[in-house]
Amino acid sequence: MRLKNIIWKTVVMSLMASPLCISCDDDDEVTVNSKFYLSTKVFPVDSYEASLSVILKDNSVVVNELQPNYRFVACATERLSKDVKITADSDDNLVSAYNKANDTEYNILPAENYSFTNKTVTIENGESVSGDSIKIELLNVGSLTTEGGYLLPVTISSIEGNNLDALSSNRGVVYVKIQNIHVNVESGQPAEGTLIADRSGWTVKVAPTTRGDAKNLIDGTNSDVARDGGAEYWLTVDIGKV
């Protein structure tokens, strides 16, 4: 009986140990399917837009600005077990889809107005962010006068090993926006008449609303403000009896 018990215990312990060995073998073979995406910054990694405002007066740039440069990093959702090269490129076909989804009217940024100075970066073994950057330089900013602004979608065009299935479905594109701010686009005649200094009886309505009293927009001073947050809005001024 004692010998049988020893044999039985040995068999049970062997059976219990077998799954552990199998599990170890499985763990060695497990690979995490990392997804790849682009970001405008290393931190925070959820920033997917870069914007530039071009101020125009009579369709000419108000100030000779430096030609802007943009840098994007390639990111992985997990640290990699080997070096992976990522290549980016522009995709004009995404402009119409963006406009439809966001109710905007951006134009395609002409090819002569930008240049990739670096398209390929590497995420190294053990890292999740590329050490170098995808670089874009905007050119001839003063010629970007078309109303509605411009949009340059930048997406991952290749992942080393032709594995585009590893491209993130919701983070695969970053957008460079060039927005025109038109100031006195058409030269007008100087106003003639008497300045109405007393505006105490005037009422102002703004839709959507502003941050700050809307009356600050017409009170004739710069000591207080009302901000619109960059959105389009309707401004209605009732001057009562003059």
**Which CATH number do you get for residue 88?**
2.60.40.1510
140 and 211 housed in the same domain = no
Give the mean pLDDT of 22-29: 36
Mean pLDDT of the chain: 71
- The answer to whether position 224 is within a domain reads yes
135 and 216 housed in the same domain = no
66 and 135 housed in the same domain = yes
Which domain, by its residues, includes 218? 203-238
158 and 113 housed in the same domain = yes
Looking at per-residue confidence, does 87 or 169 come out higher? 87
Q: How many domains does the chain have?
A: 2
Can you give the pLDDT at residue 39?
84
207 and 129 housed in the same domain = no
155 and 233 housed in the same domain = no
84 and 142 housed in the same domain = yes
Sequence-separated (6 or more) residues with CB below 8 Å from residue 215: 202, 203, 204, 226
* Residue entry with tokens 């962010």: 129
- The answer to whether residue 167 scores a pLDDT higher than 70 is yes
Can you give the pLDDT at residue 60?
58
- The answer to whether position 91 is within a domain reads yes
- The answer to whether residue 44 scores a pLDDT higher than 50 is no
Can you give the pLDDT at residue 176?
85
Looking at per-residue confidence, does 187 or 155 come out higher? 155
